[in-house]
Copies of this chain bind each other. A is one copy, B any other.
Amino acid sequence: MEFKDFAELQSVSTLRQLAKNPYSLIRKDALSPRRISRYRCSTCGFDALYAAQQIDDQVLEVLQKLADEAEVTEKFRAMKSGAVLNFITGHESENRQVLHTACRDIFSDSPLEPEATAQAKEQLARLKSFLADLDNGTLVNEHGQSFTTMIQIGIGGSDLGPRALYHALKRYRLPGRNARFIANVDPDDAAEVLVGLDLSRVLVNVVSKSGTTLETLTNEELMRQAFSAAGLNPAQHMISVTGAGSPMENPAKYVTSFNMYDYIGGRYSVTSMVGGVILGFALGYEGFVEVLRGTNAVDVAAEEPLLKKNIPLLMALLGIWNHNFLGRATLAVLPYSQALVWFPAHLQQCDMESNGKSVSRLGGAVRWQTGPVVWGEPGTNGQHAFYQLLHQGTEIVPVEFIGFRKSQYDNEVMVKGTTSQQKLLANMIAQSLTLASGRQHDNPNKSFPGNRPSTLLVAEQLTPYAMGTLLAIYENKIAFQGFCWNINSFDQEGVQLGKIMASRILSEISSENIGNMEKFSLDAPEISLLEAVGLR
């Protein structure tokens, strides 16, 4: 395995040349049926239709060469096998393995990294038994009643992934089971979640790897006070997911604790106990295992070195084409599925925290663009909101559409001879074609420039398995892009400085430090801003 900087790859200079004259989607017959059927790739139940990208066979060939030069599938295989890939050469770094894939590599007799998978299986067995205790009435509240609501307290990776998947899969909840999420240190977040809730039936799941995350500790304390105020014993209503040996692994304070491991980064932790406990509570153990089955299927399929046969790899390289060579600053992910309402926010985290980097693996500053800004909302809602800019704005935004042939609830209504689901899909197709082809018109305000690229990602139905598949498609796409850009997609040093600064300020204003002020004396700008917002 060799790490070469993006700008040093031969294919990069070829692609720069090709980008001067990209495939035009507005030419007559630019989107022929032959092109549509050729530019279609299938992986684990998803089809990627990418005829509406500004590429041709030659570009695809050189993108393939880029992937080969960067040895992306080798690195991916090494990652899954336990190589230390969370590092920067020549500088202090986390120096860790990257093994979120291990916690779903549970269906094979010979997992790629047996130790991590054994740990995952142990946690899964504990989860299964915990869920059985809830089901069979062994684990109940003070009055012998079952728990009906689980509130997850966590932030970032301990929040967005589980939240996105729970909302995506609410349809498949067990009867009488609900989940809620508290993330923000904003006290109004927790207050709003608690309105009208019967605390006696609530189980709180506190999730923090270190057991020291400020927001999470604050909200945990708030929940403990709420239980006490309701005459309930907090220790009977709280469980935790945390690193082995953290202060949150404490039987005096939690009914039980599950473990998470250093080799799984927060934003990749949905398929560990971070997502497992709450998804298992809501969907049942088998529901969560179905999610794992979907992710694992993609983890295996994504070893395929040919991008035409590997959706995550294909999407990674199409993204690089749009971002680095055609100069598009952002990527919109637009699911035509209301259940995926939180998925763009999760992807935003997973992608931007992974690839929003400026240092190469070799320790130097990058001289090429790394991750784009990722954003999105469900369609058709977005069509009535920001699509104006997508069609006629001066910023060109590549789009990834996501759609399903069948709805989840089958609660259909026929209006004007078509079902809602048909309307949803017809709109998605119409948008993709319109963005690509544009339209000339005598009235310039009714003209559409076209040449705005998109990919359609389509599967049968948003089931737990399909959700796992979709999740792993994006996780692996992000890793592939990081390998191409030769950056470390697995650390997040960029969030540290803000934390340090916030702690300094809080120390200054803390009532615990009165009389000890000189120790934390702040700089002039901080003091000025504190005064401006009324904190001083």
Question: Nearest-CB distance from A83 to chain B (Å)?
Answer: 19
Residue A336 at the chain B interface, CB threshold 8 Å = yes
User: Given that A192-B409, A225-B413, A411-B190 are contacting pairs, would A533 and B425 also be in contact in the complex, using a CB cutoff of 8 Å?
Assistant: yes
Chain copies in complex: 2
Are A187 and B412 interface neighbours, CB within 8 A? yes
Are B413 and A373 interface neighbours, CB within 8 A? no
Are B423 and A394 interface neighbours, CB within 8 A? no
Residue of B352, B499, B527 near A385 (CB, 8 A) is B352
Among the 9-residue stretches A65-73, A251-259, A292-300, A337-345, the one with 4 or more Cβ atoms under 8 Å from chain B is A337-345
Are B388 and A529 interface neighbours, CB within 8 A? no
Chain B: which residue is nearest A49 at the CB level? Answer: B532
- What 0/1 readout, one digit per residue, does chain A (456-492) give for beta carbons within 8 Å of chain B? 1010000000000000000000000000000010011
Are A390 and B356 interface neighbours, CB within 8 A? yes
- What 0/1 readout, one digit per residue, does chain A (428-453) give for beta carbons within 8 Å of chain B? 11111110010100011111110000
In whole angstroms, what is the CA distance A187 to B527 when docked? 52
Residue A47 at the chain B interface, CB threshold 8 Å = yes
Q: Which residues of B contact A370 (CB under 8 A)?
A: 393-394
Among the 9-residue stretches A11-19, A110-118, A376-384, the one with 4 or more Cβ atoms under 8 Å from chain B is A376-384
Contact residues, A386-432 vs B (CB, 8 A): 386-395, 397, 403, 405, 407-432
Are A444 and B365 interface neighbours, CB within 8 A? yes
Among the 9-residue stretches A123-131, A216-224, A274-282, A301-309, the one with 4 or more Cβ atoms under 8 Å from chain B is A216-224
Are A535 and B187 interface neighbours, CB within 8 A? no
Are B494 and A36 interface neighbours, CB within 8 A? no
User: Given that A356-B390, A373-B375 are contacting pairs, would A339 and B188 also be in contact in the complex, using a CB cutoff of 8 Å?
Assistant: yes
Residue of B36, B384, B407, B534 near A186 (CB, 8 A) is B407
Cross-chain pairs A/B with CB under 8 angstroms, 16 sampled: A92-B443, A171-B192, A184-B379, A187-B409, A187-B412, A215-B384, A329-B329, A345-B377, A348-B377, A348-B386, A356-B390, A371-B395, A418-B506, A429-B535, A433-B529, A446-B496
Taking A155-B381, A218-B415, A353-B385 as given, write out 15 further A-B residue pairs in contact, using a Cβ cutoff of 8 Å, ordered by the A residue number.
A91-B443, A91-B444, A184-B380, A187-B424, A188-B339, A222-B420, A348-B386, A349-B385, A356-B386, A356-B388, A356-B390, A359-B447, A384-B495, A417-B513, A430-B502
